[in-house]
């Protein structure tokens, strides 16, 4: 195995591999930065291209698109408070505040460094421990997923904002919004009032852009009567001292993100929020979080990227894609004659290690590409408000529409924009609502699955087969209470 690894590592150092990784990273970053266009779409479109390339060129190329795309998504989240995916929501909390303070360059720098570090270490960890992780993945079924999701929601409420009660109200509202549409298990329509457009539920993207970006644009216009620029400055680059201050946070988030990646179905959104909550809770100055704290950006970005390594494990060891991104990678592997699955490492160990090494190289190259392109992106915010705001509004509407090509989504966008303004005026934080909405679907689904699995003997099922779930369920209120008390005493 070590020999295979050494051979594989040497194979990955090829000029054409490196060039295609760079192209992939760059195109992924551009696509990811455009709201409405997802990394997933870019990968699906580029997949047939990889069929005609050498495996060590085609697959690293797709991985480049993927990694570039994830960071790309944090660019609009930081610059104009427009997170294009749930994973970028936590980044925008402090990222956008930094932009408003004229520190957008610093925010993008720390986002880049922490995401690359989180990704790289989780990749290395995955390569070293791929077989133990594969065993661990098998321990998590729908009941455990339900318990962990519930605990995540409790943690988000306990550490959100200054008033947990308001947070709870908003989260319950988000959970209710997630119920609208066709019940994913029973197929019953709920709260659709017979409107066909509501049958497939409320789309996430118009909600994200609506509640986060539109109110900020309104405020930017109001502010600009005094100041001419959206944000005056791009600020300095990240200093060494500032980076050092973030290291413990990045370390914590990387471990947390990797652990969350092992639980199938949790993913980047939970990781980012948990990383953020943990950093805020561990900090000696939690009051600076939400006010433009670079550690907040570092915590979210390191955690959501650290998920990437472990999500590849079921694909590589069993040939099972856990989500759509890994499904596309499966297509790319199979088309190259590589069969992901139990024998992959025996049959094709060398080339798989070569691909994994290329993945780590992609991360390292991304540091350079990202660092060189950040000054250009950062300068966007220095465009005059009178020009920038219309451009951003155009992207907001185009992004909300293009995702599903549905005009209803534009109405949703406007509706959520108004809601976001009202919530701000009433000092309600929209974050718990968005998290409740995003996690509500999976939570309900996991609950339905647990009920279906338990059959007619629920107690026997829980207390003989699912002790892990029971333990997490018991721990949840305790963790919630302790966090809430700590946050209260820290901010009081």
Residues of this chain that interact with another protein (CB under 8 A) are: 38, 40-41, 43-45, 47-48, 51, 137-142, 181-182, 184-187, 196, 199-201, 264-265, 314, 318-328, 330-331, 334-337, 339-344, 404-406, 445, 448-449, 452-453, 455-456
In the bound complex, what is the minimum distance in angstroms from residue 164's beta carbon to another protein? 31
Q: Which residue number, 228 or 343, has a Cβ lying nearer to another protein? A: 343
In the bound complex, what is the minimum distance in angstroms from residue 262's beta carbon to another protein? 13
In the bound complex, what is the minimum distance in angstroms from residue 119's beta carbon to another protein? 20
In the bound complex, what is the minimum distance in angstroms from residue 320's beta carbon to another protein? 5
In contact, 235 and 102? CB cutoff 8 Å: yes
In contact, 398 and 140? CB cutoff 8 Å: no
Task: Quote the longest CA-to-CA distance of the chain.
Answer: 67
d(CA 377, CA 71): 12
In the bound complex, what is the minimum distance in angstroms from residue 17's beta carbon to another protein? 21
Q: How many CB atoms lie within 10 A of CB 232?
A: 13
**DSSP class of 82:** -
User: Is residue 290 classed as helix, strand or coil in its secondary structure?
Assistant: coil
Q: Which residue number, 45 or 387, has a Cβ lying nearer to another protein? A: 45
Q: Which residue number, 251 or 339, has a Cβ lying nearer to another protein? A: 339
In the bound complex, what is the minimum distance in angstroms from residue 357's beta carbon to another protein? 22
d(CA 282, CA 323): 32
In the bound complex, what is the minimum distance in angstroms from residue 183's beta carbon to another protein? 10
d(CA 212, CA 292): 16
Q: Which residue number, 51 or 481, has a Cβ lying nearer to another protein? A: 51
Q: Which residue number, 279 or 332, has a Cβ lying nearer to another protein? A: 332
* Three-state secondary structure readout of 210-242: HHHHHHHHHHHHHHCCCCCECCCCCCCCCCHHH
Q: Which residue number, 39 or 74, has a Cβ lying nearer to another protein? A: 39
Distances (CA, A) of 359 to 18, 141, 344: 11, 29, 17
Q: Which residue number, 334 or 470, has a Cβ lying nearer to another protein? A: 334
d(CA 317, CA 325): 16
């Amino acid at each position: 195995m070590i020999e295979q690894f050494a051979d594989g590592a040497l194979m990955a150092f090829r000029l054409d591999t490196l060039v295609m990784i760079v192209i992939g990273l760059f195109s992924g970053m551009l696509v990811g930065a455009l709201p409405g266009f997802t990394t997933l779409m870019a990968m699906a479109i580029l997949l047939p291209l990889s069929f005609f390339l050498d495996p060590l060129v085609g697959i690293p190329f797709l991985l480049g698109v993927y990694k570039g795309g994830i960071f790309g998504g944090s660019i609009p989240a930081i610059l104009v408070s427009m997170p294009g995916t749930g994973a970028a929501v936590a980044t925008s909390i402090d990222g956008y505040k930094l932009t408003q303070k004229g520190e957008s360059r610093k925010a993008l720098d720390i986002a880049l460094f922490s995401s690359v570090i989180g990704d790289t270490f989780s990749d290395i960890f995955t390569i070293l421990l791929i077989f133990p992780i594969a065993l661990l993945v098998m321990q998590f079924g729908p009941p455990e997923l339900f318990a962990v999701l519930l605990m995540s929601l409790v943690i988000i409420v306990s550490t959100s904002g200054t008033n947990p009660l308001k947070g709870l109200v908003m989260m319950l509202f988000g959970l209710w919004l997630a119920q609208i549409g066709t019940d994913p298990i029973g197929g019953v329509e709920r709260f659709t009032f017979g409107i066909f457009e509501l049958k497939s539920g409320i789309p996430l993207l118009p909600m994200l852009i609506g509640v986060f970006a539109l109110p900020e644009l309104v405020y930017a216009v109001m502010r600009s009567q005094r100041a001419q620029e959206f944000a005056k400055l791009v600020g300095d680059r990240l200093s060494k001292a500032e980076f050092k201050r973030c290291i413990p946070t990045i370390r914590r988030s990387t471990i947390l993100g990797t652990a969350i990646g092992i639980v199938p179905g949790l993913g980047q959104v939970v990781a980012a929020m948990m990383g953020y909550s943990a950093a805020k809770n561990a900090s000696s100055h939690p009051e600076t979080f939400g006010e433009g704290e670079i550690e907040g950006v570092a915590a979210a970005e390191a955690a959501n990227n650290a998920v990437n390594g472990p999500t590849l494990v079921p694909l590589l060891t069993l040939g099972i894609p856990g989500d759509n991104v890994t499904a596309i990678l499966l297509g790319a592997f199979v088309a190259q004659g590589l069969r992901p699955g139990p024998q992959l490492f025996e049959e094709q160990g060398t080339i798989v290690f070569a691909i994994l090494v290329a993945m780590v190289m992609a991360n390292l190259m991304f540091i350079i590409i990202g660092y060189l392109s950040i000054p250009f992106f950062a300068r966007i915010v220095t465009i005059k408000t009178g020009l920038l705001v219309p451009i951003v509004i155009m992207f907001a509407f185009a992004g909300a529409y293009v995702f599903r090509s549905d005009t209803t989504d534009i109405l949703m966008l406007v509706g959520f924009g108004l809601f976001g303004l009202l919530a701000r005026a009433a000092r309600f934080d929209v974050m718990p609502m968005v998290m409740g909405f995003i996690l509500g679907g999976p939570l309900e689904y996991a609950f339905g699955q647990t009920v279906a699995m338990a059959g007619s003997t629920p107690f026997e099922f829980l207390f003989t087969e699912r002790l892990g779930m029971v333990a997490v369920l018991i721990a949840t209120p305790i963790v919630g209470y302790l966090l809430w008390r700590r946050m209260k005493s820290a901010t009081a």
